[in-house]
């Protein structure tokens, strides 16, 4: 319940700030409005978030590729192991003939 209240208060503060920004006609030295600056910063944030997501995807692809390579190595080792086990069985059968 406290968390909900905190979120509600945070949302209310955020909405009040948004309203203040929308109603503010302040201009910066370069002539741009506060609203334009805020929107510009929001786009920069979105761009950075998008880049982060793209990096995460690239990392995931690399991880999946590494896992696939390890799986291939495991399969090759299993094949070698099976071949060696077959060799041992054949040698055992051969030795059994003489025992």
pLDDT digits (tens, 9 = 90+) for 55-99: 999 999 999 999 999 999 999 999 999 999 999 999 999 999 887
Give the pLDDT confidence score for residue 70 in this predicted structure. Answer: 98
More confident residue, 4 or 51: 51
Give the pLDDT confidence score for residue 60 in this predicted structure. Answer: 95
Q: Full-prediction pTM beyond 0.75?
A: no
What Å distances lie between residue 52 and 3, 45, 56, 59, 94, CA to CA?
29, 11, 6, 10, 63
Give the pLDDT confidence score for residue 16 in this predicted structure. Answer: 64
Which value, in Å, is the radius of gyration of the alpha carbons in the chain?
33
């Amino acid at each position: 319940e406290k968390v909900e209240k905190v979120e509600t208060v945070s949302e209310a503060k955020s909405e009040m700030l948004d309203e203040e920004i929308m109603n503010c006609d302040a201009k910066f030295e370069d002539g741009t409005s506060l609203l334009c600056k805020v929107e510009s910063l929001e786009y920069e944030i979105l761009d950075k978030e998008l880049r982060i997501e793209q990096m995460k995807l690239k990392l995931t692809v690399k991880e999946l590729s590494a896992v696939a390579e390890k799986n291939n190595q495991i399969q090759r080792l299993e094949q070698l192991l099976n071949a060696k086990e077959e060799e041992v069985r054949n040698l055992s059968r051969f030795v059994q003939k003489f025992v």
